[in-house]
A and B are shown apart, each in its own frame.
Chain A
């Protein structure tokens, strides 16, 4: 790794000042992506700003009336262990247990997963399905961005100069709400998703009242397929409805071929995984 300086601010204001003074600084959460990128030379920086000592970025707050706020640097291992989170957002606890292996989960965070802006990020399709909102601090103050709008290209997000992610907010699930993330990997652990699908469905009075579907690893960014979710609304949770949504999800995918899988195979998996994920949330045959 090239030489760099290190700073660990303890407040939002201090962090903002540091980033304003050092426009090419990189912020550090768990480091499981950033350190790999710095080691390989894919990224270089004169200053690493460690955000893990800022209270807002390391807290999990659950408000039974509002929802859940997860600080951007909270490691996955804390999410899988959090009682309220496991109870109210079980799919989120599950996805936190999917990122890397045990030791990686000791450091890696949902915030880092989002900011790294990889098309394959496991947590992002689920966060989209959960209608999560990213809360961003910057020179102009705080702003909120829907997670589906956060990533703009591989490795690039909407974060502007001097901005960083503070937390991610998850609204309270409605009655009848279920969410699930399903990914395909060739091994059973320690792999990058060949395709990932995050879905959420809300069933009320035997009809699907709301549905959201997002995909990983099939486009330059995690892909929110609004039409696929919308196609389910108003329908009974039948396998025909599910198949229709899966076809729409598959049609939206624009995968590439690389060492992890050929494009055709990825397209095929979009259909399979979407069907399976929706079947899981809808309990349909």
Chain B
């Protein structure tokens, strides 16, 4: 096993862990093991064809965050010598990125029960186990944030001096600590009060909720400064105590601008006391967390089967033969029941629901509400299609991926039907409900007249599903790869998807200006979907594996 640099850095903090009664050498070994496993990810044997290179995909994707940092954070440092505004935007973006990755990518690690059977029988305390799990996440988070802030940090030091840099680093440590602990505490709370099957469902709803909450608070943050007045003056209001980015901006205000007003000191105190307090609570409750996690493995005794009316009905409409219908139902069940899949997919649904509204109300801020309503502005709905690339990509994986021998052992004439029906199931089970909900609200806001537009967006979404499959998956058997911590870079996919979806939205916008063109466009899309689907999944006469 390699001796990782990150572990050597961790060694410097050994005394902290020992103070909390954690068996440091054991914890170190556990983390080393996890990191080694992460660096040895290779695709499952059955998926043959192209052998990907070994290595930690996450580390390889860090350069992208470097770029984001440059793009998203650095500009704010060139605002006038007014720390409050610049740094609170900076921290908002930072927290936003951290929480979203925490919720969508690291939740699975935090709630992992797979190695319980291996590690639990060994003489290791729950406390140490949990600390290892947490530190495993923290190392990745530190790398992510490190690459994210390195450029802004350098620019900051250059502009405001070394003291600024020091405060910056300290506050980032506090911010990360805050984010990790608050996520863990939320799960802990849920685990404590629910059990069995219900718990599994609730965890996914919590994820949607967290995703929505993060999005909304991001907006609140931006609005706490009256942007329209252009002077960016900060005035303290009592509810600012609940906005963590302001706590850390206050650090700069107090220490660099020598603003010792009571408001600033309160904010700064919050920034130090609250994370530490929460960390203290978390450490105290850690053993409870591990114990409650085992609830995730149990199944409540059920003696009756669930009805599959909806799946039956949709499978009859969407699938042509019995095999496809069978697999469609199978995929629907996998999507509905696999915990790891849901852990990663459900936050996307949360974003898909909330982003269109955020975009809509941003519009409203520029125009007036009345004007925005009159415009029948349906374009924000395109943002809901952003969930598609991620969800389609997730269909490759399963916690029980080794069960995929069954696909090969069974007599299947056209192996392309596996993905064809899986994609259909994903659209029906995940995208359609989300989109239906959004459509109802948008129809209520505007009028029935937007229905053609909604149909166009739906067709584009189906196109996106097909495109995502071709570009991201392109393999024969779904649910056949191991889920892993951070397999690929999500953000890059979303970025590419954004460009494609943007192009579609632009076409839609232009078409809307020509009368009757919408109907023609819709027809073209329908034909494109059908032809595209046939091209990708159509049965070829003599295909064989060789």
Determine if chain A interacts with chain B.
no
